[in-house]
Amino acid sequence: MAGQDPALSTSHPFYDVARHGILQVAGDDRFGRRVVTFSCCRMPPSHELDHQRLLDLKDKNQGELIPPVLRFTVTYLREKGLRTEGLFRRSASVQTVREIQRLYNQGKPVNFDDYGDIHIPAVILKTFLRELPQPLLTFQAYEQILGITCVESSLRVTGCRQILRSLPEHNYVVLRYLMGFLHAVSRESIFNKMNSSNLACVFGLNLIWPSQGVSSLSALVPLNMFTELLIEYYEKIFSTPEAPGEHGLAPWEQGSRAAPLQEAVPRTQATGLTKPTLPPSPLMAARRRL
């Protein structure tokens, strides 16, 4: 591709995709349509890939913004796992996880029924989020999220909405999809024992982490609190008519005194996904390493 086609310059929008062989033709499906796969295993380290260029590419897959791995695991768990006790609490063998990752990377179908363990798709989902090159909630939002504990409890839902408006549109769409699913899981907590608090403990560190080092123990409280709010108040937080990147005045910004999150929420326009998925935003890249 990049090395084979001298006409494909380094400024070409598909240069990185071609240079690393990220996209490959896997053959034809049963309807005779060409199948193009996104190879996660070919994704280079973050510093060797121009993610912004990839994110700027418009999705050609009929407007699909949800990474296949995320969509397939969520769909399966919605149908067969919502009432499974301890969902997302169990582990799976590394060998099984890598095998499924390999199948996805090769563009092959994965039938979770073949594995006979409802916890496997749950582990695949967590692995997908954890192995993104950048967190779904983005590095930029990390400090803002840590400030959620400084906000008056009655204003925290509004604070969450304000922070999410600074996310790239793709990240926001994927996050909304995921939170909608986790909210559904929490509503079955009488059976699965996974309420919004328990789910937040599992997913908090898979959604956000610092750009340098790891989260400190003191950071776990605000990170888990923020995640719990997203799950528990999913309908209120994601029902806002404003699109990501559009900022209205939060309650604490309407007076003369600024509340803790006022300066923490940048007034920037969302330009693409920082991390997760579609046009290999690291998110799409996420299809990548899963």
Q: Are 56 and 151 found together in one domain?
A: no
Average pLDDT estimate for 90-111: 90
Residues 118 and 164 grouped into a single domain: no
CA nearest neighbour of 37 among 109, 129, 114 = 109
Tokens read off for 168? 């790239």
Structure tokens at 214: 């790891």
- Asked whether the predicted pLDDT for residue 228 surpasses 80, the reply is yes
With beta carbons less than 8 A apart as the criterion, state whether 51 and 274 touch.
Answer: yes
Select, from the ranges 14-18, 35-39, 209-213, 257-261, the one with the highest average predicted confidence (pLDDT).
Answer: 209-213
Residue 90 burial (C-beta neighbours within 10 Å; 0-12, 13-18, 19+)? middle
Give the pLDDT mean for 52-73. Answer: 64
Domains in the chain: how many in total? 2
Q: Are residues 102 and 165 in the same domain?
A: no
Q: Are 144 and 104 in a shared domain?
A: no
Claim to verify: residue 156 and residue 88 sit in the same structural domain: no
Residue pair 272/35 in contact by the 8 Å Cβ criterion: no
43 and 55 part of one domain: yes
Q: Which helix (H) or strand (E) holds 124?
A: helix 119-130
Of 5 and 106, more confident: 106
Strands (E), 13-155: 23-28, 34-38
- For the chain, what's the residue count? 290
For residues 8 and 60, membership in a common domain is answered with yes
Q: How confident is the model at residue 172 (pLDDT cuts 50, 70, 90)?
A: very high
Cβ neighbors of 30 (< 8 A, separation 6 or more) are none
Provide the token pair at 18. Answer: 């071609």
| Cβ neighbours for 72, distance < 8 A, ≥ 6 positions apart | 110, 121
Measured distance CA(237)–CA(165) in Å, rounded: 10
Looking at the fold, whether 239 and 169 belong to one and the same domain comes out as yes
pLDDT for residue 26 is more than 70: no
Q: What is the mean pLDDT of residues 210-225?
A: 90
Question: Which residue range forms the structural domain that includes residue 18?
Answer: 1-134+275-290
* Residue 54 sits in the same domain as residue 168: no
Give the list of residues 6+ apart from residue 122 with CB closer than 8 angstroms, or none: 73, 77, 81, 87, 88, 90
- What is residue 5's predicted lDDT score, i.e. its pLDDT? 47
Q: Are 70 and 174 in contact (CB under 8 A)?
A: yes
Indicate if 229 and 155 belong to the same structural domain.
Answer: yes
Q: Once rounded to an integer, what is the mean pLDDT over residues 222-242?
A: 89
Q: Compute how many other C-beta atoms are within 10 angstroms of the C-beta atom of residue 32.
A: 6
**Does residue 141 sit in the same domain as residue 252?**
yes
Q: Note whether 104 and 174 are same-domain residues.
A: no
- In percent, the amount of the chain with pLDDT more than 90 equals 49
Q: The CATH number of the domain where 243 resides is what?
A: 1.10.555.10
